[in-house]
Amino acid sequence: MVHKLSGAIALGAALMLSTSAFAQDKRVVTWNADYDPIPLAAAEALIADFEAANPEIAVQLTNFDHEAYKNAIRNFLTADAPDLANWYAANRMRPFVEAGLFADISDVWANNGLMDSLASSVPSSTIDGKQYAIPYTYYQWGIYYNRDAYAAAGVEVPGAEGVSWDQFLANCEKFKAASIDCVTTGSSALWPVAGIFDYVSLRTNGYQFHSDLAAGKVSWTSPEARAVFDNLGKLQPFVTENHAAIDWQDAAAIFVQGKAANYVMGNFAVGVFKEGGMTNDNLGFMVFPEITAGVARAEEAPTDTIHLTSGAKNPDDAKTFLAYMASAEAQSKWNAAVGQLPTNSGATVDPADPFLTAGFQALSTATGGIAQFWDRDADAEYAKVGMEGFQQFLVQPEQLEAILARLEQARTRLYPQ
């Protein structure tokens, strides 16, 4: 026993030595992250650049498994807080902000002119007038389409500006006649249906109404909300049957095989489509069609963020690193490696990637606003009730009244009037 114990101490001491020798006279900034291999390599490259520019600071990144991180962060923020932690913008960070676990970094925003360079992400980084997050990447949502499926059904392929809503529905009729699913999704994990609902809602009533709906400020039985479900009902007969039993990757297979023509998805799916054998020649991207004429176009772009923790041991140097992560140069580099979009308006996007270029174009011209996605705009519990309602409506549209009543009941309970 004693031997084992002393062995463990020796091992621990050796580990301590090896890390502290590395950072002997440097000031250490610790950063907990949840990266997959490619983003991790990109982050390490950024750290190397940062350390070269700031030789007196060493950034130590501890990487977690993506799913495990969601639980781990709840523990490490109180038990043993790193200086920096990855998380998500908008309502997803609210519990941590309200428990006082994420620190106010309004000064980083003010001192580095981020209000201008990160203008599109100000609302999603702000709670009660203070900034708590540095957004460094996002990705667009929209309609990905399979040109081969369009050709097989004899439907004209949409141009760069997309199609009108009526044209889209008319196309759906033709796809149905050709036994091709017009719109596919796999909603067993619920969130993919929120993408469809969000877009129909944003296009029917605009950004402000949608964001009020997500915040529980508007009734589900209001005429505007009913209009959203009306439009969703027009799409419903053309959505892949049995989508409730399959994952989004299964639906991607249907899409790649040309059994479905359109897929309302986020840009991260492009990698999956290409692994399935699609190329830039038969994979296309368009923004979701306009539904109500004159509604300013808003887009969905979930943002990933880095936060300064309240328990940070080295907040000053951590803020230096945050400012670096907000810079155009760092964001261009990281996002180019990962294939996502930088939030800094001065950053550049790889012109050879048609989907990133199209996404950058779509987001930078979205005058209506940028939504985060249903489950980040709405409170967790409200988001879940909502997504179950959307999924049920896409399976049982005749249950609309029951669904609206249930959503309204949840709203009045969670947001007492």
Partner 1 sequence: MAQASQATAPRRWNQRTVAPWLFLAPGLFMFGVYVLWPIIQSVTLSFYDWNGLYNQDGQFTGRFVGMGNYAELMTDPAFETSLWNNLKWLVLYMLALPIGLFIAIFLNQTVTGIRLYKSLFFFPFVISQVVVGLIFAWFYAPNFGLFYLLTESITGKGTAILANPDLVTYGIIAAGLWPQIAYVMILYLTGLNNVAPDQIEAARLDGAKGWRMLWYVVLPQLRPATFIAVIVTVIGALRSFDLVSIMTNGGPFGSSRVLSYYMFEMALGEYGFRMGYGAAIAVVLFAIMMIFISGFIWKMWRDEKER
Q: Select the span of 107-115, 238-246, 323-331, 350-358 touching partner 1 (CB under 8 A).
A: 238-246
Secondary structure E strands in 66-133: 84-88, 126-127, 130-131
Using CB under 8 A as the binding rule, whether residue 51 contacts partner 1 is answered as no
Q: Name the minimum Å distance from CB 206 to partner 1.
A: 26
Return the CA Rg of the chain: 23
Using CB under 8 A as the binding rule, whether residue 26 contacts partner 1 is answered as no
Using CB under 8 A as the binding rule, whether residue 74 contacts partner 1 is answered as yes
Count of residues that bind partner 1 according to CB under 8 A: 37
Q: Which one, of 299, 296, 89, 276, lies nearest residue 184 by Cα? A: 276
Residue 108 CA to residue 264 CA, distance in Å, equals 36
Sign of the alpha-carbon dihedral angle for 398, 391, 187, 287? positive
Using CB under 8 A as the binding rule, whether residue 173 contacts partner 1 is answered as no
Using CB under 8 A as the binding rule, whether residue 215 contacts partner 1 is answered as no
Q: Select the span of 19-27, 39-47, 99-107, 136-144 touching partner 1 (CB under 8 A).
A: 99-107
The one among 34, 304, 317, 375 contacting partner 1 by CB under 8 A = 375
Nearer to partner 1, 73 or 306 (CB): 73
Using CB under 8 A as the binding rule, whether residue 249 contacts partner 1 is answered as no
The one among 36, 65, 173, 241 contacting partner 1 by CB under 8 A = 241
Asked if 203 and 165 touch (Cβ cutoff 8 Å), the reply is yes
At residue 367's C-alpha, the angle toward residues 389 and 262, to 5°, is: 50
Asked if 175 and 164 touch (Cβ cutoff 8 Å), the reply is no
- Please enumerate in sequence order all residues whose Cβ is within 8 A of that of 97, keeping only pairs 6 or more positions apart, or say none: 127, 132
Using CB under 8 A as the binding rule, whether residue 137 contacts partner 1 is answered as no
The one among 246, 270, 326, 347 contacting partner 1 by CB under 8 A = 246
The one among 101, 133, 261, 363 contacting partner 1 by CB under 8 A = 101
Q: One-letter amino acid identity for 38?
A: I
Six-digit token pair at 329? 């140069």
Q: Select the span of 45-53, 74-82, 154-162, 296-304 touching partner 1 (CB under 8 A).
A: 74-82
Q: Name the minimum Å distance from CB 100 to partner 1.
A: 5
Q: What is the rounded (10 degree) CA torsion for 223, 402, 375, 213?
A: 20
Q: Name the minimum Å distance from CB 258 to partner 1.
A: 14
Q: Name the minimum Å distance from CB 99 to partner 1.
A: 4
Using CB under 8 A as the binding rule, whether residue 221 contacts partner 1 is answered as no
The one among 168, 391, 404, 411 contacting partner 1 by CB under 8 A = 391
Measured distance between the N- and C-terminal CA atoms of the chain, rounded to whole angstroms? 63
Q: Which one, of 197, 196, 195, lies nearest residue 407 by Cα? A: 197
Q: How many CB atoms lie within 10 A of CB 221?
A: 13
The one among 62, 111, 208, 242 contacting partner 1 by CB under 8 A = 242
Q: Name the minimum Å distance from CB 71 to partner 1.
A: 7
The one among 7, 12, 100, 271 contacting partner 1 by CB under 8 A = 100
Using CB under 8 A as the binding rule, whether residue 396 contacts partner 1 is answered as yes
Nearer to partner 1, 188 or 361 (CB): 188
The one among 392, 397, 400, 408 contacting partner 1 by CB under 8 A = 392
Q: Select the span of 139-147, 160-168, 223-231, 240-248 touching partner 1 (CB under 8 A).
A: 240-248
Q: Name the minimum Å distance from CB 185 to partner 1.
A: 12
Chain CA centroid to CA 383, Å: 14
What is the maximum span of the chain, computed from C-alpha positions, in angstroms?
78
- Please enumerate in sequence order all residues whose Cβ is within 8 A of that of 265, keeping only pairs 6 or more positions apart, or say none: 141, 142, 144, 185, 192, 195, 248
With 0-12 / 13-18 / 19 or more C-beta atoms within 10 angstroms meaning exposed / middle / buried, residue 238 is: buried
Nearer to partner 1, 297 or 406 (CB): 406
DSSP letter at 239 equals B
Six-digit token pair at 170? 């008319």
Residue pointed to by tokens 């490619």? 38
Using CB under 8 A as the binding rule, whether residue 368 contacts partner 1 is answered as no
Residue 146 CA to residue 195 CA, distance in Å, equals 19
Please give the residue ranges that form the binding site for partner 1 (CB under 8 A).
Answer: 70-71, 74, 77-78, 95-96, 99-101, 187-190, 241-246, 254, 310-311, 375, 380-381, 383-384, 388-389, 391-392, 395-396, 406, 409, 413
